[in-house]
Every structure is written in C-alpha cells, then in structure tokens.
C-alpha cells in the first residue's frame, strides 16, 4: 500500500491558495482513481484509491499546514507504511511557477508542513513532490504570499501543473521515485 499526502490548510478561507496545491493534487487523484467518498480519519480527510492495481490512501491533513506530521504519523503507524511508500505533495516557493521536483529524501527546504512531517516521522528519508508556486515579489510578506491566491495570469499554468503533478504521482506509484524523478524533475507546465 502507498500513502500519498497532499499538504494544505483546511477550510474555505484557504481554498485555491498557493499553499493548498497539495490538497488540489490529492483531489485530482481522488477524482481519477478514488474508490470511496472522502471520510474523516487520522486528523484529516482520506480517500481510498487504486492506481495501477496498487492500493493508495490519499490523505489531506486537517491539522493546519505546520502540524501536518500529526496526521501523517497516525496514518503511517496505523497502516505500517514504510517511508519509501509514502509521498508528500506540497508547494515550494523556491521553484518557478508550475515546475515540479521529486526528491527521494532530504531537508524540508523551509516548507513548514514537510518540516513537521520529517520531525515527527524521525528522518528525512521521505519522498516528496514539490510544485513551484513562484517567489513573492521583493518586500512582500512570505506568509501572506503563500496564503494568497494565484494571480489571474497564473491560473492556467497552475491548473496544468496540478494535473501534471497528479500524473507524476501515478508514475511514482507504478514505477517508483527514480523513474518519477527522471521523468518529471525540471518539467514545467
């Protein structure tokens, strides 16, 4: 079984924000592959899916971004998922808009939701897929930027990136992180 975690913040106030691209990728995967309606579990929302014959649990933590590890730890421990079978999908303001980047392990790169996950899981050996949301303009508050919505001229590009990220997750499920890295790293919508 695989566990795919889409990062974001729950609630209408945060819908469509830059910080919620992970939730949107999970929603796209649920739309394409979901076998069950969303249900509350593990301090979040889960959908059971099947991708290429593999059982996949799609998890969107509802703990707020900076405490995402609480939800991920509960799901990991319940299903006894190895870190190599867990993928975290989230935003990255250090990547250009729409660019995707897989990594098999490493630091959080400053993403606080991923930082909490790595801390609670006890290591950096967790695969992740980052989706570029672009950098804030000079002088703009970072928190306000990531919690803000995309500009009108960015919407088409981020929609393409979300669909491409969902495709990238299916490659990860079917063929592993090395193949996904080779295929998607550096691609941009």
- Cβ neighbours for 140, distance < 8 A, ≥ 6 positions apart: none
* Overall average pLDDT of the 158-165 stretch: 97
Residue reference for tokens 């392990």? 105
187 pLDDT band, cuts 50/70/90, is low
d(CA 139, CA 117): 29
CA distance 162 to 46: 19
pTM value surpassing 0.75: yes
Phi/psi for 31 (5° steps) reads -60, -40
- Residue 61 to residues 2, 3, 137, 156, Cα–Cα distance (Å): 16, 12, 29, 26
140 lies in some domain: yes
| pLDDT, position 82 | 97
Question: Beta partners for 51?
Answer: 54
Annotated active-site residue 119? The verdict is no
Annotated catalytic residue within 19, 43, 62, 83: 19
Residue 67 lies in a domain: yes
Residue 78 lies in a domain: yes
Helix H or strand E encompassing 60: strand 54-61
CATH label of the domain that carries residue 37: 3.40.50.1470
Residue-wise DSSP of 58-71: EEEE-S-GGGHHHH
Provide the domain count of the chain: 1
| Per-residue pLDDT tens over the stretch 47-78 | 999 999 999 999 999 999 999 999 999 999 99
Is 189 a domain residue? no
Range of the domain at 168: 2-184
- Convert the pLDDT of each residue in 13-41 to its tens digit: 999 999 999 999 999 999 999 999 999 99
């Amino acid at each position: 079984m695989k566990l795919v975690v889409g990062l974001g913040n729950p609630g209408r106030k945060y819908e469509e924000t830059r910080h919620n691209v992970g939730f949107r990728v999970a929603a796209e995967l649920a739309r394409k592959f979901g076998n069950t309606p969303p249900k509350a579990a593990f301090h979040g929302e889960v959908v059971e899916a099947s991708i290429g014959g593999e059982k996949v649990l799609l998890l969107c933590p509802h703990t707020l971004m900076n405490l995402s590890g609480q939800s991920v730890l509960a799901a990991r421990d319940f299903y006894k998922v190895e870190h190599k079978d867990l993928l975290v999908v989230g935003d990255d303001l250090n990547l250009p808009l729409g660019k995707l980047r897989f990594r098999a392990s490493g630091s959080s790169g400053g993403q606080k939701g991923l930082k909490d996950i790595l801390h609670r899981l006890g290591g950096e050996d967790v695969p992740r897929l980052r989706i570029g949301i672009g950098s804030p303009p000079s002088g703009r508050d970072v928190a306000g930027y990531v919690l803000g919505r995309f500009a009108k001229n960015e919407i088409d590009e981020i929609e393409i990136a979300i669909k491409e990220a969902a495709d990238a997750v299916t490659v990860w499920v079917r063929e592993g992180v090395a193949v996904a890295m080779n295929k998607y790293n550096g691609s941009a919508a």
